[in-house]
Amino acid sequence: MYISLWRSLVRPACLLGALLLAPAAALAATPVEQHNSNAIWFENWTGLRNATLVVSAPDGSLTTVEAAAGTPVFQLSGAEILDGIYRFELRAATDEQIKILNPQNNGRGEAQLDSKAKPFYMSGHFTVSRGVIIIPEEISESDTN
């Protein structure tokens, strides 16, 4: 009796739960952009390391922030903070390993690896107005008859 109950109710429920939770687990590792008035960083930093954050100012100048562990933090600094749209690229290594399809002889002999860390990439932008990071207002057209 217990075996038939297992087959008819419990096993399908477990399979359904696994199917529904698998995409959520994959999304859990995606960092979320956060900011205050003078800094930008990322939360939900699970499973990422060796991060590089490259920020492009409105005049085209680039700032690179590197962090071996934890989230990189970009801070507005200096007397001349340009107003406008800043763009960023975030690159990091994940804990997941992927197979190297065409390995090259790198001279390491037995220490040579056949896998590497799967890369993570994210890009976005933020706006600076009057020297502080802001959330721009969404403007939409409305039909007023």
Question: Can you give the CATH number for the domain in which 83 is found?
Answer: 2.60.40.1220
Mean pLDDT by 10 residues, the chain (145 residues): 53 50 51 94 91 96 94 89 96 89 72 84 95 81 68
56 and 119 within one domain = yes
How many whole angstroms separate alpha carbon 47 and alpha carbon 71? 11
What 3-state DSSP class applies to 80?
coil
56 and 124 within one domain = yes
How many whole angstroms separate alpha carbon 4 and alpha carbon 46? 40
- Whose structure tokens read 């896998």? 115
What pLDDT was estimated at residue 136? 79
37 and 11 within one domain = no
The model carries a pTM of 0.68
Name the residue range of residue 70's domain: 31-101+113-134
84 and 40 within one domain = yes
Domain count, the chain: 2
46 and 7 within one domain = no
What pLDDT was estimated at residue 20? 47
Beta bridge partners of 71: none
14 and 60 within one domain = no
Contacts with 36 (C-beta within 8 Å, 6 or more apart), sequence order: 133
In a domain, 108, yes or no: no
In a domain, 1, yes or no: yes
In a domain, 123, yes or no: yes
